[in-house]
């Protein structure tokens, strides 16, 4: 007997619900584009001086480096070395030194990881600042819209009931059991709230703290982070956390059904099981 065919709206046991507003979808994809260019151009800027410090100043008279990528010579051969709080890791072929003895490359980061490829600090800064301002405006638009339509308090700030369900939700994710619903589960709420309300504002604030123009207008911003070099280090760490979030986010999308998840972020609607419209 042939299986009955149903239209998407008539599929038994499920229903289509509205999950993402136009504001959420628009800002989501705008951030995706901005973060791609910000990451690669930011690494181009970092590549010009691949050392992170704490404090206000840096240089030969200071011993305040906490992270460094470079190369060193031993017995006529070079190797790449990454130093993290004094813990030295051999990263030859990837960070610090790559290529061959005939065509050595002493760049801290490989060309494929930076934009533009090769050493081009001026272009990297132009790209970075251009998309940084789009990023800032997008966050402001999202915040105003989310406060106006209730998205922030309804979908991102966990309630006491949400927090009680946190252990169960963690256990379900470990077992790769995902409940498709109209609303975010507590892990999604916490992760999105941290990214949107903590990491992104920190990225913007530390970026302004490193800007000479912003320093002239708001001199207190550098002091908030204990110095320009500390702000640069915090900026780098926030970037790593955002990259980590992106990796986990994409893994969850793939595990939960990429077609359904991407379609919901394009159309705003998602198919959920009947009676399970209150959790994601």
Q: What is the pLDDT of residues 183-206, one digit of tens each?
A: 788 898 999 999 999 999 999 999
Per-position DSSP letters for 204-258, written without gaps between them: HHHHHHT-HHHHHH-THHHHHTTSHHHHHHHHHHHHHHHHHHHHHHHHHHHHH-H
- pLDDT of res. 60: 57
- pLDDT of res. 275: 54
- pLDDT of res. 11: 59
List C-alpha distances in Å: 69 to 57, 109, 166, 264: 19, 8, 39, 41
- pLDDT of res. 20: 84
- Distance (Å, whole) CA 158 – CA 191: 10
Per-residue pLDDT of the chain (280 residues), as tens digits, is: 334 343 454 456 677 888 888 999 999 999 999 999 999 999 999 999 999 999 876 665 667 899 999 999 887 788 999 999 999 999 999 999 987 777 888 999 999 999 999 889 999 999 999 999 999 999 999 999 999 999 999 889 998 888 998 898 888 878 777 766 667 888 989 999 999 999 999 999 999 999 888 888 888 888 889 889 999 999 999 999 999 999 999 998 888 788 888 888 999 888 776 655 444 4
Between helix 228-256 and helix 22-48 the angle, nearest 10°, is: 130
> Which positions ≥6 away from 268 have C-beta within 8 Å?
18, 19, 20, 21, 22, 24, 25
């Amino acid at each position: 007997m042939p299986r009955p065919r149903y239209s998407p709206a008539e599929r038994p046991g499920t229903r289509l619900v509205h999950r993402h507003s136009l504001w959420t979808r628009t800002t989501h994809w705008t951030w995706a584009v901005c973060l791609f260019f910000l990451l690669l151009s930011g690494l181009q800027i970092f590549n010009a001086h691949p050392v992170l410090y704490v404090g206000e100043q840096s240089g030969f008279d200071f011993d305040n480096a906490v992270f460094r990528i470079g190369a060193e010579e031993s017995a006529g051969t070079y190797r790449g070395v990454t130093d993290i709080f004094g813990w030295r890791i051999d990263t030859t072929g990837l960070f610090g030194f790559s290529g061959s003895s005939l065509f050595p490359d002493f760049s801290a980061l490989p060309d494929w990881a930076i934009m533009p490829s090769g050493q081009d600090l001026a272009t990297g800064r132009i790209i970075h600042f251009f998309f940084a301002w789009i990023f800032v405006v997008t966050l402001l638009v999202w915040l105003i819209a989310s406060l106006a339509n209730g998205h922030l308090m309804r979908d991102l700030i966990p309630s006491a009931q949400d927090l009680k369900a946190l252990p169960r939700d963690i256990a379900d994710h470990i077992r790769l059991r995902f409940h498709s619903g109209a609303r975010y589960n507590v892990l999604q709420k916490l992760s999105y709230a941290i990214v949107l309300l903590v990491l992104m504002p920190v990225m913007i604030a530390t970026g302004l703290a490193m800007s000479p123009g912003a320093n002239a207008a708001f001199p207190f911003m550098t002091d908030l982070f204990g110095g320009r070099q500390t702000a640069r280090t915090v900026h780098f760490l926030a970037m790593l956390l955002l990259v980590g979030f992106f990796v986990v986010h994409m893994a969850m999308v793939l595990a939960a059904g990429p077609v359904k998840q991407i379609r919901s972020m394009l159309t705003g609607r998602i198919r959920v099981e009947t009676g399970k419209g209150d959790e994601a």
